[in-house]
Amino acid sequence: MVGLRMRAWMCGVVVVAACDQPRDAVPEGSSSSAAVGDSSGGDAPQCDGPIGAGACAEQTICDVYECGGKTSLYNHDGCARAECTTDAQCGEGWHCYPLVLGGACIEGELACSGDTSCECSPLEACSGNLRAHCLPESVYPVAQDCMPLLIGCADELLPWHAAMIATRDAFVADGYTELADELTACAPIAAAGAIDCGSSPCEVLCTIAVCSHASGDACIAACDAALVDTDAATIDLLVDAIARAPASACDCTACDGSDECEAIWSCGG
């Protein structure tokens, strides 16, 4: 209900740059429906308003949300960003960004209430993972959507990979092919990033393997044995294949007949 009340008075679907960027003009030729509420060369609308009633009337949207951040639901004016499932919905000069590319657990809508103090909590944990919204390519180039070094090192990269695969599978089920393809392309980059951060290939492979029998110390031992004489290029291909596998896969489909891959995956074990 809080989210519905907030949307009732806000300026509508919006897309703008990060907090420390100047207000963007709407790119020429952009879809007007995707650009409502953005600056059009003059003063940008100020949508930032109270987050709720009672003590929350003293708190604005941008007091509570990190307005303007890449994964924020609101731009730096406090206006709601336009949700999307394809780039075409965003208009020329904008692209549809799946929020899970920003981390393993993205905050979604918050519920805020209180008579003496304003308390806010997520309506659902990590609900932002399943969202996507329009961002301006001039500020957020598509080439920078998947940047594992901004996430952290192995302890954060592998949960991020798991979140991407789970979200990707949800997008596939919902028919959001374009978003799913972007996450599929990023998944092996996240896995490779974990190796660059110091994890061994077998640690990464056995962590991202979705079968319970293909994980843990036994998996790592089997993996080490399988890869003892394997060249680096082949290992890279294995990481890529398993990193792209659907979360429901447990049948060695991703291995494509590779003995080394099947040993790591412990097919049918």
- Mean pLDDT value across the chain: 75
Residues 93/29, Cβ–Cβ less than 8 Å:
yes
Of the listed ranges 11-15, 99-103, 229-233, the one predicted with least confidence = 11-15
Judging by beta carbons within 10 Å of its beta carbon (0-12, 13-18, 19+), is residue 22 exposed, middle or buried? Answer: exposed
* Predicted pLDDT of residue 252: 61
pLDDT of residue 89: 96
- pLDDT band of residue 215 (cuts 50, 70, 90) is low
Tell me what percent of the residues of the chain surpass a pLDDT of 90.
24
**Owner of token pair 């290992």:** 235
Distance of CA 263 to the CA centre of its chain: 31
Lowest-confidence region among 42-51, 53-62, 153-162, 194-203: 42-51
pLDDT for residue 20 = 29
DSSP 197-216: TT--HHHHHHHH--SGGG-H
Residue 152 confidence (pLDDT) above 70: yes
Q: What is the pLDDT at residue 212? A: 54
pLDDT in tens, 184-214: 999 999 989 988 888 888 888 888 876 655 6
State how far the Cα of 205 lies from the Cα of 238, in Å rounded to an integer.
8
Residue 156 scores a pLDDT above 90? no
Q: Give percent above pLDDT 70 in the chain.
A: 71
pLDDT range class, residue 171, cuts 50, 70, 90:
very high
pLDDT at 173: 94
Three-class DSSP category at 132: strand
What DSSP letter does each residue of 165-190 carry, written as one string? HHHHHHHHHHT-HHHHHHHHHHHHHH
3-state helix, strand, coil in the chain (%, to 5): 45, 10, 45
Cα 58 to Cα 113: distance, rounded to the nearest angstrom? 11
How far apart (Å, rounded) are the C-alpha atoms in residues 2 and 257?
52
Give pLDDT, residue 223.
80
Asked whether the predicted pLDDT for residue 38 surpasses 70, the reply is no
| Residue 219 half-sphere exposure toward CB, CA atoms < 13 A | 24
Q: How confident is the model at residue 131 (pLDDT cuts 50, 70, 90)?
A: very high
Decide which of 84 and 165 is more confident: 84
Tokens representing residue 100 in the block: 């899970």
